[in-house]
């Protein structure tokens, strides 16, 4: 009888992060200032510690993971790889399906993989206070946990409407010692400006980022931490793909196709980058990012320069974008409601290395339910996007009779998303049409340059 | 560097359950009818399948686990054993602390360890429909999951006030295909009788049990499943202690003291019974059941004959009891609010094999917070009772300088209990005094016999 879970001992936790940059077809585009000129990395020194800034621009293929970070990751890593036999049988597919389960972390997703090193590098730089933003709460709770492990105060600006809708994510952050501030708040100029115009503003991720960055930039004792998009975050997540490769080796297998959910891109980078080394060496493997049909950045967006936040505080990044002030519809996969996507993932998509699909909301909840009913685990709605992409391919294999090996990242559990499943079971969820007119309008508001950057 | 998690491969999942009966100082007392005469096991054949009834009265030391049950358990088992180094350091204790983490099951606790075999034995007996009751929802969601794995319809009578307070446990059961009926309901005579007296009755576990048993007894196609107390349930849970012993062997260790939360007793049986074999053979080990100060069955109850439910439908069992109609205060560890405790655990307590302590509510939440802040995992309030007992001993070791090896069962995560932690953090929780007068009154209502049974 084959194994259901393929486990690794703690001694097999990776010793290095894998940096995809040397294996990319072209070097990554630099970050630009509003004048179209490259921004030197140390310009971000007011909000990031030196260890993080070095990683952001490193061209080394392997970057050592500090031992205290490895020790902290061992609280839940290595994460199990599952062979989803019961799912294969239910689908009647000849395909083999594996999934990497990142929901075993205390915060319930892959996010602590980067929160822990970010807290660590700030700690060794003598910083003992961090700010960040959170929407649905996955990142905020991960940073609160990491702060607790490295003796760090953490203030989290949480989108006000999310804080009200997800009170238990807030409790989780507070239990780990985090301070949760509903955003917009009166603590920052950005927040006060918003409230002056609209005292009942429900908040947005863009506003929360602005508040967190403003506070970190204005206080010597405080830095800022971001949960996706940037190179160093994707780097930290590569423990996922490295472990998975080792686990598949143990059972003598290798994937034909890999699926990961795609919002800011840290799941895609975390799982797929370690496979890109093989692909660059000629291995036949397809890498498929799975984004929401309602917020289809890679599949329908424009590859150009845009801001990472909604109001233009960050440097300009060359990425697929739907326009920095595009407001995605209110789907339940809150972690995927982002106008852009990691510059590294964007460039690899433009170069044909990473593909993308955009499943509809109902297909993702059907996939989540099927995983729950066959494998027990209840996936987060974000993770269900990768499951949906994988299941669609498995059903294609059923038609063609191909015995492909498929792999997806089950990036987190849905224990704090049961209200969404409730609506799904009650038939109250809908698919969303692609908001074509809103995207077109947002793309009109992209930054303009006197001279187009090269 | 020592390991944080001690793992076992799936091949080390136990092949047999361990039955404590042959290693008990005396044979267990039989179940009695209202006349004080022993009830033959097949009297319960209307609601339990033959495989379960055999186990309930078996005197075999080792009972094989059927292969389909082992395969289903592998969805999450073997469960990890943690060495809680960070907790030891925070406490400054010379003691070593280990905990077995059962929160890795899809339902989030140890409960599926028995739900899976119960669904299986009904399946092979040709039964495809089960009823059960649930309070806080741990057992109900475990049986819904198990029903999904063995093609079984499951109807769960959920205490109405719990169904309203814990809507997400209800969603979880429904996602796994369970049908949730708020109890008291109009579907049974027991429910209708209650509603006729009080249309707004909030329900109780006792009423829900009566509804589930009544329906199963009245329908040929339907059986009943119970989540604790009975011998077969404790038997199924012994995978916990067996795995733990093997894991400790791997690191060359053995516990001086073992702590488990105690409500109906299935955690105590699951972890401690496999150690009782060693204790019977002369090994020096202390086994400590941890029950709530507000519902202190073992520490303050009477060892006598009583019913398992509140209204007297079950056979009489010889156990520690606070009186079958005693209503425990509304503590947040809902799984420990039970008037009695497993007859096997009771007898072993009476015989001095198992000790008991009764920590206060605030001490348990402090323990839960300490586990969360040092090890990441947020314990369920029930599990926090074992943590509290263990931490108290670790602090005693700090005073005496003893380097004891301590072990506790972290039986489930608290992801669906964040409202309770919220209240704790807000300072809104209190300790509860032992309700002496209420218990004394309830003990007055114990069953009376014409001639005391022997």
Based on the structure, what is the number of domains in chain B?
1
Residues B17 and B52: their CA atoms lie apart, in Å, by: 13
Predicted pLDDT at B1: 55
| Percent of the residues in chain A that have a pLDDT greater than 70, as a whole number | 99
Residues A271 and A406: their CA atoms lie apart, in Å, by: 13
Residues A11 and A357: their CA atoms lie apart, in Å, by: 36
**Which residue reads 């990242």 in tokens?**
A409
Per-residue pLDDT of A13-33, as tens digits, reads: 999 999 999 999 999 999 999
B397 token code pair: 């070791």
Per-residue pLDDT of A391-406, as tens digits, reads: 999 999 999 999 999 9
Predicted pLDDT at B453: 73
Give how far A105 is from chain B: nearest CA, Å.
8
Predicted pLDDT at B454: 64
Residues in chain B with CB shorter than 8 Å from the CB of A176 are: 372-373
Which range of A36-45, A52-61, A200-209 scores highest in mean pLDDT? It is: A52-61
Coil vs helix vs strand at A17: strand
Please tell me if residue A163 touches chain B, with a CB cutoff of 8 Å.
no
Please tell me if residue A419 touches chain B, with a CB cutoff of 8 Å.
yes
Coil vs helix vs strand at A151: coil
Q: What average pLDDT does the structure give for chain B?
A: 94
Candidates B166, B351, B138, B173; CA nearest to B261 is: B138
Residues B434 and A334: their CA atoms lie apart, in Å, by: 46
**Substitution target from A418, A419, A421, A423 for chain B, most B beta carbons within 10 A:** A418
Torsions phi, psi for A418 (to 5 deg)? -65, -25
Predicted pLDDT at A43: 85
Q: B172 and A71: CB-CB below 8 Å?
A: no
**Substitution target from A163, A168, A367 for chain B, most B beta carbons within 10 A:** A168
Q: What average pLDDT does the structure give for chain A?
A: 94
A1, A3, A369 member nearest B175 (Cβ): A369
**Substitution target from B418, B421, B426 for chain A, most A beta carbons within 10 A:** B418
Q: B175 and A421: CB-CB below 8 Å?
A: yes
Please tell me if residue B76 touches chain A, with a CB cutoff of 8 Å.
yes
Please tell me if residue B15 touches chain A, with a CB cutoff of 8 Å.
no
In a domain, A139, yes or no: no
Per-residue pLDDT of B38-67, as tens digits, reads: 998 788 899 999 999 999 999 999 999 999
pLDDT at A254 over 80: yes
Predicted pLDDT at A1: 54
Q: Which residues of A382-410 are buried (b: 16+ CB within 10 A; e: fewer)?
A: bbbbbbbbbbbbbeebeeeeeebbbbbbb
Q: B9 and A7: CB-CB below 8 Å?
A: yes
Q: By the 8 A CB rule, do B69 and B116 touch?
A: yes
- The whole-number average pLDDT for the span A67-94 is 98
Residue A114 banded pLDDT, cuts 50, 70, 90: very high
Q: A172 and B108: CB-CB below 8 Å?
A: no
DSSP B243-306: HHHHHHHHTT---SEEEEE-SSSHHHHHHHHHHHHHHHTT---EEEEE--TTS-HHHHSEEEEE
A110 token code pair: 């892959």
Q: CA nearest B372 in A: which residue?
A: A176
In a domain, B190, yes or no: no
pLDDT at B248 over 90: yes
Predicted pLDDT at B331: 76
Predicted pLDDT at A453: 73
Please tell me if residue B419 touches chain A, with a CB cutoff of 8 Å.
yes
B349 token code pair: 């307590």
In a domain, B404, yes or no: yes
A9, A67, A71 member nearest B7 (Cβ): A9
pLDDT at B348 over 60: yes
Q: CA nearest B1 in A: which residue?
A: A71
In a domain, A427, yes or no: yes
Residues in chain B with CB shorter than 8 Å from the CB of A105 are: 376
Predicted pLDDT at B434: 87
Residues in chain A with CB shorter than 8 Å from the CB of B1 are: 67, 71
Please tell me if residue B167 touches chain A, with a CB cutoff of 8 Å.
yes
pLDDT at B328 over 60: yes
Please tell me if residue B179 touches chain A, with a CB cutoff of 8 Å.
no
pLDDT at B161 over 90: no
Coil vs helix vs strand at B400: helix
Q: From residue A118, how far is each of A256, A355, B100, B233, B418 by CA, in Å?
A: 33, 29, 29, 45, 26
- The whole-number average pLDDT for the span B438-453 is 87
- The whole-number average pLDDT for the span B377-396 is 98
Q: From residue A62, how far is each of A59, A235, A246 by CA, in Å?
A: 9, 10, 16
Residue A35 banded pLDDT, cuts 50, 70, 90: confident
Please tell me if residue A146 touches chain B, with a CB cutoff of 8 Å.
no
- The whole-number average pLDDT for the span A217-225 is 95
Q: B168 and A419: CB-CB below 8 Å?
A: yes
Q: From residue B11, how far is each of A2, A74, B67, B71, B103 by CA, in Å?
A: 10, 23, 12, 11, 21
Coil vs helix vs strand at A336: helix
Give how far B74 is from chain A: nearest CA, Å.
6
Predicted pLDDT at B35: 85
Q: CA nearest B68 in A: which residue?
A: A1
Residue B166 banded pLDDT, cuts 50, 70, 90: confident
Please tell me if residue B189 touches chain A, with a CB cutoff of 8 Å.
no
Residues in chain B with CB shorter than 8 Å from the CB of A75 are: 4, 375-376
Residues in chain B with CB shorter than 8 Å from the CB of A419 are: 167-168, 171
pLDDT at B116 over 70: yes
Q: Which residues of B208-243 are buried (b: 16+ CB within 10 A; e: fewer)?
A: bbbbbbbbbeeeeebbbbbbbbbbbbbbbbbbbbbb
Residues in chain B with CB shorter than 8 Å from the CB of A369 are: 175
Compute the radius of gyration of chain A from its Cα atoms: 21
DSSP A24-68: SSSPPPPPB-TTSSBPPGGGGTTTS-HHHHHHHH---SEEEPPHH
Q: Say what the pTM is.
A: 0.96
A75, A419, A422 member nearest B375 (Cβ): A75
In a domain, A312, yes or no: yes
Predicted pLDDT at B423: 94
In a domain, A288, yes or no: yes
Q: By the 8 A CB rule, do A133 and A205 touch?
A: yes
In a domain, A389, yes or no: yes
Coil vs helix vs strand at B408: strand
Q: Which CATH number goes with the domain that contains B270?
A: 3.40.50.1100
User: What's the domain range around B387?
Assistant: 5-10+66-108+233-444
Q: B369 and A421: CB-CB below 8 Å?
A: no
Q: CA nearest A90 in B: which residue?
A: B149
- The vertex-A315 CA angle with A311 and A317, nearest 5°, equals 100
Residues in chain A with CB shorter than 8 Å from the CB of B105 are: 376
What angle separates helix B167-175 from helix A361-375, to the nearest 10 degrees? 80
What's the complex ipTM? 0.95
Q: CA nearest B86 in A: which residue?
A: A149
Residues B281 and B283: their CA atoms lie apart, in Å, by: 6
pLDDT at B213 over 80: yes
Give how far B116 is from chain A: nearest CA, Å.
12
Q: CA nearest A373 in B: which residue?
A: B176
Cα-Cα-Cα-Cα dihedral sign, residues B244, B144, A168, A190: positive
Q: A177 and B373: CB-CB below 8 Å?
A: yes
Please tell me if residue B104 touches chain A, with a CB cutoff of 8 Å.
yes
Please tell me if residue B177 touches chain A, with a CB cutoff of 8 Å.
yes
In a domain, B199, yes or no: no
Residues in chain B with CB shorter than 8 Å from the CB of A144 are: none
- The whole-number average pLDDT for the span A70-77 is 98
Candidates B369, B380, B293, B297; CA nearest to B335 is: B380
Give how far B9 is from chain A: nearest CA, Å.
7
Give how far A417 is from chain B: nearest CA, Å.
9
Q: B372 and A176: CB-CB below 8 Å?
A: yes
Per-residue pLDDT of A155-190, as tens digits, reads: 999 999 888 888 899 999 999 999 999 999 999 999
């Amino acid at each position: 009888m084959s194994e259901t879970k393929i486990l690794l001992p703690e001694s097999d936790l990776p010793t290095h992060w894998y940096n995809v940059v040397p294996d990319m077809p072209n070097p990554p585009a630099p970050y630009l200032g509003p004048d179209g000129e490259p921004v030197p990395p140390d310009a971000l020194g007011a909000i990031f510690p030196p260890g993080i800034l070095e990683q952001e621009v490193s061209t080394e293929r392997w970057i050592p993971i500090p031992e205290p970070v490895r020790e902290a990751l061992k609280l839940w890593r290595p994460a199990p790889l599952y062979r989803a036999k019961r799912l294969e049988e239910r689908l009647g597919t000849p395909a083999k399906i594996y999934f990497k389960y990142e929901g075993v972390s205390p915060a319930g997703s892959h996010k602590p993989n980067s929160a822990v090193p970010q807290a660590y590098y700030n700690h060794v730089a003598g910083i003992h206070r961090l700010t960040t933003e959170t929407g649905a709460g996955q990142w905020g709770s991960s940073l609160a946990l990491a702060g607790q492990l490295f003796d760090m105060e953490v203030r989290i600006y949480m989108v006000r409407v999310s804080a009200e809708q997800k009170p238990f994510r807030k409790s989780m952050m507070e239990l780990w010692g985090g301070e949760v501030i509903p955003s917009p708040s009166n603590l920052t100029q950005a927040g006060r400006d918003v409230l002056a115009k609209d005292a009942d503003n429900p908040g947005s991720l863009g506003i929360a980022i602005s508040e967190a960055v403003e506070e970190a930039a204005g206080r010597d004792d405080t830095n800022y931490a971001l949960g996706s998009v940037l190179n160093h975050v994707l780097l930290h997540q590569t423990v996922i793909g490295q472990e998975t490769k080792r686990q598949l080796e143990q059972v003598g297998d290798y994937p034909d196709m890999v699926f990961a959910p795609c919002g800011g891109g840290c799941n895609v980078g975390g799982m797929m980058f370690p496979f890109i080394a093989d692909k660059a060496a000629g291995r036949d493997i397809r890498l498929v990012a799975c984004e929401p049909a309602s917020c289809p950045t890679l599949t329908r967006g424009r590859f150009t320069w845009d801001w990472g936040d909604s109001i233009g505080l960050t440097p300009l990044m060359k990425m697929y974008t739907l326009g920095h002030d595009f407001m995605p519809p209110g789907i339940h996969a809150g972690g995927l409601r982002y106008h852009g996507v990691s510059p590294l993932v964007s460039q690899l998509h433009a170069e044909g290395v990473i593909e993308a699909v955009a499943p509809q909301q109902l297909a993702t909840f059907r996939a989540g339910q099927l995983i729950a009913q066959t494998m027990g685990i209840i996936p987060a709605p974000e993770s269900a996007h990768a499951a949906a992409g994988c299941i669609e391919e498995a059903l294609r294999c059923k038609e063609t009779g191909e015995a492909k090996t498929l792999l997806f990242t089950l990036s987190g559990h849905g224990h704090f998303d049961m209200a969404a499943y409730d609506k799904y079971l009650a038939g109250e969820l809908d698919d969303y049409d692609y908001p074509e007119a809103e995207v077109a309008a947002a793309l009109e508001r992209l930054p303009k340059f006197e001279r187009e950057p090269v």
